[in-house]
Structure 1
Amino acid sequence: MTLMERLYNKVSQNGFVCVGLDTSIDYIPKTHKENKSIDQALFDFNREIIDSTKDVCAIYKIQIAYYESYGLLGMKAYSKTLSYIRKNNLLSIADVKRSDIAQSAKQYAKAHFSGDFEADFITLNPYMGMDSISPYLDFIEKKDKGVFVLLRTSNPGASDFECLKLKDNSEFFYTVGDKLKELNNKLLDKTGYGPIGLVVGATHKDEVEKIRKRYDNMFFLIPGFGAQMAESMNVYKLLNNLNGGVVNSSRAILKNYLNFDDGEDKIGYYARLKCIETRKEIENNGRL
């Protein structure tokens, strides 16, 4: 079974929610980090979230910045989290947003597709050109790995560059997407998708249908739902019959326990509840 078959099946079975393990030590209750090192506190929190949500989500996204900020101990927690996900036969996205070329990119590929920091997918920034993507192809093709490449992001500053108008009056990000689609089309499996996916924010309601139709054979990583308040209908339109993409939610899931009086004793339970609520909201609004 290919990586994309595993992801497609996970979405079919567990829904399209991607749990973002963007874990800050501030999110962890005092009682859960007393007498623990930073790495142990971070990992124990992540493990509780994973154990409680693994049958109601498709994949986990680990934003490396949160762990880098705690130095070596943070990176130890990052490595342990990825290893735990892998040992449980679950899927992971390392949100590293690398952007480099040649030998430097090859070393990034080695770092995040093997060894202590091995993940199934990583995120890439393509704006140095296609030679910032091609060094990853060896791992993608031979080691069954995948990437999600920034296309149309959900941050307010995305329009500064992504939406610059070209001579034919099209936005720049479509040129990027078209080149990535051409590469991905050579790698499709029986799911109809390939291992080169796109990061497409759900906050731009006037674009979502066009983007989904144009990149029909590409899996989407969809940020913006939850803390960034993207509309559930936008998210629904970026999916493809409730598959073809994963919808990331981080803080809304990790911190959901704070909304309940008994939350500190049921962190995993309330994370699970939020996963289920997120899926239902998107599905129900999509049917309207």
Structure 2
Amino acid sequence: MIIDRLFNEVEKKGNVCVGLDTHLDYIPVNLKEKYQDIDEILFEFNKEIIDKTYDLVPVYKLQIAYYEAYGIKGLLGYKKTIEYLRSIKKITIGDIKRGDISSTAQMYAKAHFEGEFEVDFVTLNPYLGFDTLTPYLKYIESGEKGVFVLLRTSNPGAKDIQYLKISPKDEYLYYIVGDKLNEIGVKYRGSCGYSSIGAVVGGTHVDEAKEIRNRYKNMFFLIPGYGHQGATGKDVSLYLNKGNGGVINSSRGIINAYKNYKDGDQRFADYARKAVLEMREDIQIERRV
């Protein structure tokens, strides 16, 4: 199962998920001058970072909005990147945050679990209802695909909806969502004990971290918020279980790391690798405490 693959990769390589949220402003001028088309620029930047980090990380996440913003050429860059990752047998997360129902959701599932945009995991938004997940279940049941469903996110506005108190238990809405995801996910657990239906849990809210981890012992987490959004290695480690059970995403902190160095434009991929190594050590130090 795909969740077993991810679990095993985390065991070997740690928890860092490299976010390839690639904006043209993030790309060195010399690389942009070397290639004419946007798809080539995006792909070559991504490829160099992948080639310098693939031995260090278990998974890569691509936020599709960064590619959609550049139209057809941008999406071609997205396609080339996920195809390259597949060719070197790396696990991919398409950060698409879809949340529709019925035939529309079927088409989203087909678009991102088959064909040119095929990835291993996608992110979903359940706040339209749990039937938003239904069209994806046949792919999850195959064992080849998984999803990360928004549970409790890292943005300040999360409290507008996710923290609403719901009767009869007077619990936060995100716990109601989490309990239902846990129930649905039982059927899709791998030999590692985790389900291929995971959750997105923002690492910036540490007060509830231990309760969330204990409550959802069999749920694998995608954890945003590290670095640029303020979460530390100590914070995100609270969402792990014996060093596994989650991957921690960093995007700008890794792909923009070169901007802190005088020779960064020429060595941007080297500095991305350095940022990954530093992040891994930060998380591992906290895991040892």
Please give the alpha-carbon distance, in whole angstroms, between the structure 2 residues aligned to 1:275 and 1:245.
Answer: 16
The whole-number CA distance in structure 2 between the counterparts of 1:200 and 1:280 is 21
Normalised to the residue count of structure 1, the TM-score between the two structures is 0.98
Task: Give 1:13's aligned amino acid.
Answer: K
1:254-269 matches, cutoff 5 A = 254-269=255-270
- Residue 194 of structure 1 and its aligned partner are, at CA, apart by 1.1
In structure 1, what is the equivalent of residue 109 of structure 2?
Answer: 109
- Report the secondary structure of 1:123's partner residue: strand
- 1:41 corresponds in structure 2 to 41
Which position in structure 1 is the counterpart of 2:248?
247
Structure 2 CA distance for aligned equivalents of residues 75 and 234 of structure 1: 34
Query: Where do 5+ consecutive residues of structure 1 fail to align?
Result: none
How far off is 1:241 after superposition? 1.1
Matches within 5 A, 1:114-193: 114-142=114-142, 144-167=144-167, 168-193=169-194
Task: Please state how far the C-alpha of 1:285 moved relative to its aligned partner.
Answer: 2.6
2:140 touches 2:188 (CA, 8 Å); kept in 1? no
Aligned twin of 2:211: 210
SS at the partner of 2:228?
A: coil
Runs of 4+ aligned structure 1 residues displaced above 2 Å come to 285-288
1-structure distance, mates of 2:177, 2:170: 15
Percent of residue pairs identical? 52
1:264 partner SS? coil
Q: SS state of the match for residue 216, structure 1?
A: coil
- In structure 2, runs of 5+ residues without a counterpart are none
Residue in structure 1 matched with residue 232 of structure 2 by the alignment: 231
Q: Which residue of 2 aligns with 1:50?
A: 50
Inter-partner Cα distance in structure 1 for 2:106 and 2:25: 35
* Per-residue deviation, residues 223-244 of structure 1 (Å, max 9, x unmatched): 0001101132220010111111
- Encode CA deviations 1:171-198: one digit per residue, 9 max, x unaligned: 0100000000011111112100110000
RMSD: 0.9
Quote the offset at 1:135 in angstroms. 1.2
**Is the partner of 2:162 in helix, strand or coil?**
coil
Identify which range, 17-26 or 162-171, moves more after superposition.
162-171
Worse-matched range after superposition: 230-239 or 245-254: 230-239
Letter in 2 for 1:17: V
Deviation at 1:169, TM superposition (A): 2.0
Matches of 1:202 and 1:142, distance apart in 2: 30
> What is the CA-CA distance between 1:143 and the residue it aligns to?
5.5
d(CA) in 1 for partners of 2:196, 2:109: 15
Contact 2:2 2:143 in 1 (8 A): no
